[in-house]
Amino acid sequence: MVKKWRAKKRFYLFGVVILVSVLFYATGTLDPVDSSGKSSDILVQISPNTSTGQISDMLKQQGLIQNAGVFKLYTRYHKLDNQIKAGYYLLNPSMSVDEILHLLVRGKTASKSFTIPEGYTLARITDSLANKGYIQEQLFKDLLTSGKFNYPFMKDLPSGENRLEGYLFPETYNVSLDSAEKDIINVMLAGMDRQIKELKLEEKARKMNLTLHQAITIASMIEREAKVQKDRALISSVIHNRLKIGMRLQIDATVEYALGGHREKIYYKDLEVNSPYNTYKNPGLPPGPIASPGKESLLAAVTPAKTKYLYYVAKPDGSHAFAETLEEHNIYKQRYLK
C-alpha cells in the first residue's frame, strides 16, 4: 500500500508540474509586455534583501511584466526567488519573464564605461570623470591623497596629493552603475597591478637597479614624450644613458607638469620654474611619475634600446631625431625647430 501511495503521489506531483507549466505559457503572462521591439530601456534598482514579492510589484509598476503574481509564482516554481542579485539593471518591456529572470539571477547589472587615455595626469583623469558625472570631485581627490587601497606597490609610495600619479592605468573600463569614487579608483589601480604582474615589471626594474616607483616614473616621461611607438625604447635609452653619467634629463614634459597644466610650447623662462619635477634644474629622476603610462611605455622603461644617444629633438611629424653629441643635436634643432 505504501509503495502504491508513493507512486500515486509522484504521479500527482508530476501532473501538477505539467499543469502549472501549461498554465504559465498558455495564458501568455510570461510573454513580453511589448513585442514591438520599439520600447526604451528602463533602469531598475534592486536593493539588497528585497523580497520576490516586492520585485514582482516593482517590475509590474515599471511596465516590464504583465502580472506580478504570476512572476512571483513562476520565480518560486523554478526555485529562483533566493537567487536574484541586488544591483542596477537595464530592462526592456520587450523582454520575456524568462529573459528578465536570466539577467537578475546572473547579476548582469547595468554598467557605465569610461576611457582614460595614455598620458593623462591625475588632474585630467579627475576632470574627465567629474565632467561625466561619475564622481564627486573633492571626494575623489581626497581618496587619491589618503584613501586606503590594498596593493603591494602602494606600500612605498610617497604621501601627498600626487601619491597615485602614474598608478591609475589608462584603458577603457566598465563599472557597475552604482560604483562609488573608491570603486573607480580601485579598478584603475587593479589595472596597474595587472600590468606590473604580467610584464614582470618589478623584477625587470630590479635588474636595472631601479625601484618599481622609479621604473614607472621613467615610463611616465616616455609616455609624455613619445608620439610614435618606435621612439619609446629610444627615448628610454636617452633617459638611462643620461642617468648613468649624471647628466640632467632636461625633459620638457617634466617642466610642463611642474607648471601644472598642458603647454603648447615650453619657453626658456618656463625652464626656471622652481619645482622638484623640473629636470632642467634638478639632477636625476623627478620625485614620481608625471602621468599615467600605458603598457608599451612601461615595457620600454625597463627594456631600453642599446644606444649611445644622449639627445633627441621632435620632428614636425611627431617622431624624433636622436643624437649622440651636442653638435649633432644642434644640427637637428636647426633643421626641425623652425
Residues in the chain: 338
DSSP state of 231: G
**How far separated are the first and last CA of the chain, in Å rounded?**
105
User: Do 258 and 188 touch, CB atoms closer than 8 A?
Assistant: no
User: How many Å apart are CA 123 and CA 116, to the nearest integer?
Assistant: 12
Assess whether pLDDT exceeds 60 at residue 309.
yes
DSSP state of 238: H
Q: CA separation (Å) from 338 to 235, 284, 333?
A: 22, 30, 8
Overall average pLDDT of the 25-37 stretch? 76
Work out the mean pLDDT of the chain and round it to a whole number. 88
User: Do 69 and 56 touch, CB atoms closer than 8 A?
Assistant: yes
User: Do 93 and 64 touch, CB atoms closer than 8 A?
Assistant: yes
User: Do 217 and 242 touch, CB atoms closer than 8 A?
Assistant: no
Q: What is the largest CA-CA distance in the chain?
A: 108
pLDDT bracket for residue 2 (50, 70, 90)? very low
Quick check: pTM over 0.85? no
Q: Is 71 exposed, middle or buried (0-12, 13-18, 19+ CB in 10 A)?
A: buried
User: How many Å apart are CA 270 and CA 280, to the nearest integer?
Assistant: 10
Smallest CA-to-CA distance from 178 within 77, 110, 234, 226 is with 110
| The C-alpha cell that represents 62 in the structure block | 515599471
Domains of the chain: 23-109 (3.30.1490.480), 111-243+284-304 (no CATH), 308-338 (3.30.160)
Assess whether pLDDT exceeds 70 at residue 187.
yes
Assess whether pLDDT exceeds 50 at residue 108.
yes
Q: What pLDDT does residue 229 have?
A: 94
3 state DSSP class of 88: strand
E strands, the chain, are 42-46, 87-91, 111-115, 172-176, 311-314, 320-323
| Each residue's pLDDT tens digit, 254-263 | 999 999 877 7
User: Do 216 and 199 touch, CB atoms closer than 8 A?
Assistant: no
When mean pLDDT is compared across 86-90, 111-115, 230-234, 281-285, the lowest value belongs to 86-90
**How far from chain centre, in Å, is Cα 329?**
39
Smallest CA-to-CA distance from 280 within 270, 289, 288 is with 270
